[in-house]
Structure formats: structure tokens, C-alpha cells
Amino acid sequence: MKIAIGSDHAGYDLKEVIKNYLIEKGYEVVDTGTNSRESVDYPIFGENVAETVAKGEADRGIVICGTGIGISISANKVKGIRAALCTNEYMARMARKHNDANVLALGARVLGVDLALSIVETFLNTEFEGGRHERRVHLIHNIEQLKL
């Protein structure tokens, strides 16, 4: 499985930990930046990861900022992306099982490293249930098609 990962400056250290963890576990990782703790704008990196996943250049994505809120909003603006901000393993499991989330958002300032890695592991190892949830994911897709 290929994973795109990106963060702003607040998420940089956690991104590096998660990236190394994924590589050790045998995942192929596409790091879309940022590459330092120097202040940057999170929407750029949320979009970078989301575009990589939407284009099929990665199977799933992980985005990280201070709270995970801003970068998840940014990622969700990309057509075809269902980014879920998760603060525990249950949320990560349900994001995959019921929502077929394809991008995980994390808040580096609200999660410890061990919990963040456990959330990542849960997210990557949970399959979409389909069934009644398929209809709901399709309804989400239909919302993307609306023109304002």
C-alpha cells in the first residue's frame, strides 16, 4: 500500500515519526512536505496529499497540523477525498468501516506519539464494510457533483 503524507510546521515532527514508522512496516510513502519546522500554510499540504490520493498516486493519505482541523478541511475540498479527523482508534475504525475515508487527519498538538501511531495502524488496517454504508458514501459523492 502506498501512503501520501504531509503536514504543516506544527505537524512536521509527528509526520517524520509516522513516516519512519510506515517505512519500517513496509509501506511505500510519498512525503508531500513540509520539510522543516519553519512556518508554512497548512492548506497547501492538505491539498498536496489529497490530490495525490485523488489522482490514484497513493492508496491513502495522512495529513497533520496542530489540531488536524484546518488541514482536514483543506483536504476535503479536493473532489473524491473523504478526510476524517480522528482522535482515537474507534474514530479511525469507523471512518474506514462506515465512511470509506481515504485520508486520515491528525492533530500533532492534541495527540501523543503512541496514540497517533495506533490511530494510523487502525486506519490503515480497517476495511470499508460496504452494504448500507455504500449508499451513504455515494450520497457524499453526489454532494461533490453539485454546482453552486
111-138 pLDDT, tens digit each = 999 999 999 999 999 999 999 999 999 9
Domains of the chain: 2-145 (3.40.1400.10)
Give the residue numbers annotated as catalytic, written as ranges. 65, 98
4-52 pLDDT, tens digit each = 999 999 999 999 999 999 999 999 999 999 999 999 999 999 999 999 9
Alpha carbons 60 and 22: distance in angstroms, whole number = 12
The pTM score is 0.96
Q: Report the pLDDT value the prediction gives residue 147, as an integer from 0 to 100.
A: 60
DSSP assignment of 72-114 equals: HHHHTTSTT--EEE-SSHHHHHHHHHHH---EEEEETTTS-HH
